[in-house]
Amino acid sequence: MDFHSVSRRTAAFLLTGSLCLTGLAGCGHSPTSSGSGSSSGGGSSSAFSAASSDISSASSSADSSSSGAVSTMAPSAILPEPTYDFTQPAPESAPVDNEWFADAAFVGDSRTEGFYLFSGVGNGDLLSDTGLTVFKLSEKKCIQIGENSYTLLEALALKHYTKVYLCFGINELGYPGSQNFYNSYVAAIDAVRAIQPDAVIYVEGLIPLNEEVIAQTIKRDYLKNEQLREFNERIREAAADRHVVFLDLYNLFVDANGELPADASSDGVHLRADGCRKWLDYMKTHTVSYETLYPEGAESIPAPITSDSSSDGTEGGAA
Amino acid sequence: MRLLHRGNPVSFLLTALALTLALSACGGGGGGDSSGDAGSYDTSLAQAVSDAGAFSEQLDPLDADTGFYLFHLADAGIQREELADCAILCSSGGTCEQVAVLQFQWAEGKAEERQAQVMEALQSYIDGQIEANVNYRPDEIPKLENALIQQKGDSFLLIVASDLEAAKGAIQ
């Protein structure tokens, strides 16, 4: 193992601990959090408590308020003015071929798994878990490689990637409010960036649902497009705040009624194969280089956010 | 039938042999027999199982490379070029339903070892699906627990169906 990979693993460990602390704070130390999540995810708190002092020092470069507010970040005034507009979805670009994704990681839930299997991308690595939420990235040992089990973040640290696609949010729709989701998503972006500092991070907006098909099939009444749209705004906000690329998949698939077309999915959630191919075509025509995003290199990337607000991580979900 | 070889002389000879057999089958007037020769499952069986109403939804096809990945065959010690042909229909996420017919070609003397490896990989795949879905899609667990995994010579059949009897009818 070379020094580079050791450093990357160390960063992964620290950020993993940071993510866990985000969750722990929500389980008992954050009375000013939005209060929207349950506190059932505290079962593994002792396993990570030893890392808390390391995390505190590692994140000292960020403005870590102890007020219990949702999150803080390094002052943006010290950053060069970005030339790429992070508040907008990725603009259309010249198409790339599938081999462009050879050093990409596709990180997400079962929707990402469907994309990887049915789009025909044929390149890159799939790091996904059915039902996984952004709240659980640093906890759930969901990736099996040989005899070993890894969290998704640990698995992400095993190779070097230049593109990382994040797709989370459907399984989180069962939790009221969106502030915890935002906080956890931002923490996930920072963790991924620490593990893969050379990668362009793409965050994928949520593909709409078909509520009628859901009612007829999987019958999960918490899967509503109204909340999905709110979560999409928070994902877009996170992308703008953390200077990563936002992919507007919602508008790629939504119909005139604000839904996923009924024939696009057998359960109202997961796309059929032709939808996955459409998803890939979009990704192939919405790419951005690292140099375009960060012309002055790593100095133009915001420092990691520290957060003491709640996360939540009960099991369940739809993707 | 898609045949693969990557410069390995043994693989090339096996490929040539398989091609000869395939051509002779195509010219032998055996059309319409979806069961293939008596010693293996024909890839057309996947569609036949689907047509028999074994599934609760329309399944989508997967190619051989994706199938090789999906069933973790590399982890089981199988080489990609040993998967000579396949037909896979799979739910894109709504259910766990699927049918896969996998046909292999082994180097001489490897058949017994490789067959055991494939069977273990397919069983491990089903076990993993059960673990992944037990909280997430509990309605799918009975289908997975009743999954059909069968071997005939160097071919393998895997079925996760909502109507397993319909699937068995198609096989017979």
Rounded to an integer, the average pLDDT of A60-75 is 36
B50: helix, coil or strand?
A: helix
pLDDT at A196: 97
Distances from the Cα of B153 to the Cαs of A273, B13, B22, B38, B75, in angstroms?
32, 19, 16, 9, 22
B131-156 pLDDT, tens digit each:
999 988 999 999 999 999 999 999 99
Judged by average pLDDT, the poorest of A66-80, A171-185, A260-274, B124-138 is A66-80
A-contacting residues in B 75-94 (Cβ below 8 Å) = 75, 90-94
Contact at 8 Å (CB) between A112 and A171?
no
**How far, in Å, CA of B123 to CA of B53, rounded?**
24
pLDDT at A192: 97
Would you say residue A232 lies in a domain?
yes
Would you say residue A66 lies in a domain?
no
* A contact test, residue of B60, B62, B88, B92 with most A CBs within 10 A: B92
DSSP string across A11-47? HHHHHHHHHHHHHHHHTTT-TTS---S-STTGGGHHH
A183-193 pLDDT, tens digit each:
999 999 999 99
Using pLDDT thresholds of 50, 70 and 90, give the confidence band for residue A81.
confident
pLDDT at A78: 62
Query: B62 — contact with chain A (CB < 8 Å)?
Result: yes
CB contact under 8 A, A269 and B66: no
> Is 50 exceeded by the pLDDT of residue B1?
no
Torsion sign over Cα A274, A279, A285, A290? negative
Locate all alpha helices (DSSP H) within B52-148, ordered by sequence.
64-70, 111-133, 141-145
Would you say residue A170 lies in a domain?
yes
**How far, in Å, CA of A308 to CA of B16, rounded?**
65
Distance from CA of A175 to the nearest CA of B (A): 16
Judged by average pLDDT, the poorest of A53-57, A116-120, A241-245, B21-25 is A53-57
> Is 80 exceeded by the pLDDT of residue A85?
yes
Using pLDDT thresholds of 50, 70 and 90, give the confidence band for residue A303.
confident
Contact at 8 Å (CB) between A206 and A248?
no
Query: A99 — contact with chain B (CB < 8 Å)?
Result: no
Torsion sign over Cα A266, A271, A273, A274? positive
Which ipTM did the prediction report?
Answer: 0.77
Rounded to an integer, the average pLDDT of A39-64 is 29
Cα dihedral B68/B74/B75/B77 (nearest 10): 130
Rounded to an integer, the average pLDDT of A237-245 is 97
pLDDT at B86: 98
DSSP string across chain A? --HHHHHHHHHHHHHHHHHHHHHHHHTTT-TTS---S-STTGGGHHHHHTTHHHHHHHTTTS----S--S-B---GGGSPPPSS-TTSBPPP-----GGGGGGEEEEESHHHHHHHHHS----SEEEE-TT--GGGTTT-EEEEETTEEEEHHHHHTTS--SEEEEE--SGGGGSS-SHHHHHHHHHHHHHHHHH-TTSEEEEEPPPP--HHHHHHTT--TT--HHHHHHHHHHHHHHHHHHT-EEE-HHHHH--TTSS--GGGBSSSSSBPHHHHHHHHHHHHT----HHHH-TTGGGGSPPPPB--S-----S----
Judged by average pLDDT, the poorest of A56-70, A103-117, B51-65 is A56-70
Name residues whose C-beta falls within 8 Å of residue B98's C-beta, 6 or more positions apart in sequence: B59, B88, B89, B90, B91, B158, B159, B160
Rounded to an integer, the average pLDDT of A141-150 is 87
B81: helix, coil or strand?
A: helix
Distance from CA of B120 to the nearest CA of A (A): 14
CATH of the domain at A263: 3.40.50.1110
Query: B65 — contact with chain A (CB < 8 Å)?
Result: yes
Most confident of A40-54, A85-99, B26-40: A85-99
Using pLDDT thresholds of 50, 70 and 90, give the confidence band for residue A302.
confident
Would you say residue A147 lies in a domain?
yes
pLDDT at A97: 98
**How far, in Å, CA of B44 to CA of A42, rounded?**
51
Judged by average pLDDT, the poorest of A6-15, A146-155, B66-75 is A6-15
Is pLDDT larger for residue A150 or for residue A315? Answer: A150
pLDDT at A318: 72
Domain count for chain A, please give it.
1
> Is 70 exceeded by the pLDDT of residue B27?
no
Rounded to an integer, the average pLDDT of A53-60 is 30
Paired with B98 in beta bridges are B90, B160
Indicate the residue type of B44: S
Q: Which of A118, A130, A317 sits opposite B92 (nearest CB)?
A: A118
Nearest-5° Cα angle at A105, A317 to A90: 85
B56: helix, coil or strand?
A: coil
Query: A130 — contact with chain B (CB < 8 Å)?
Result: yes
> Is 90 exceeded by the pLDDT of residue A65?
no
Most confident of A24-38, A65-79, A103-117: A103-117
Distance from CA of B66 to the nearest CA of A (A): 6
Mean pLDDT of chain A: 78
> Is 70 exceeded by the pLDDT of residue A68?
no
Is pLDDT larger for residue B87 or for residue A138? Answer: B87
**How far, in Å, CA of B3 to CA of B20, rounded?**
12
Paired with A108 in beta bridges are A128, A167
B90-115 pLDDT, tens digit each:
999 999 999 999 999 999 999 999 99
Q: For residue A113, which residues of chain B lie inside 8 Å, CB to CB?
A: 93
pLDDT at B61: 97
Rounded to an integer, the average pLDDT of A154-171 is 97
Closest residue on chain B to A109 (Cα): B93
> Is 90 exceeded by the pLDDT of residue B167?
yes
Would you say residue A308 lies in a domain?
no
Would you say residue A52 lies in a domain?
no
Expressed as residue numbers, the domain containing A271 is 76-300
